[in-house]
Amino acid sequence: MNWDRIEGNWKQVKGEAVAQWGKLTHDDMDVVNGERQKLVGLIQERYGLAKDEAERQVDDFVAKH
């Protein structure tokens, strides 16, 4: 699945994102609201990752869906 489809189905997908990144909350997912860069930024912030690594994790998440 590509990001456009995830963004369009965000309400269904956000629970899976919370399950994958346990340090993120449902409130965080409401703020992200399907925006890829916001998700990447939150993952960077909460997990102390470099942008490249956070983007790789999001790409892996997208590939699974």
Specify the pLDDT at position 1.
Answer: 59
Number of Cβ within 10 Å of residue 45's Cβ equals 13
Specify the pLDDT at position 56.
Answer: 97
Distances (CA, A) of 55 to 22, 38: 17, 11
CATH number, domain 3-64: 1.10.1470.10
Nearest alpha carbon to residue 30 among 44, 46, 45, 13: 13
Each residue's pLDDT tens digit, 9-59? 898 899 999 999 999 999 999 999 999 999 999 999 999 999 999 999 999
Specify the pLDDT at position 65.
Answer: 80
Under a CB-based contact definition with an 8 Å cutoff, are residues 26 and 16 in contact? no
Domain extents in the chain: 3-64
Amino acid, single-letter form, for residue 14: K
> What's the token pair of residue 54?
């956070």
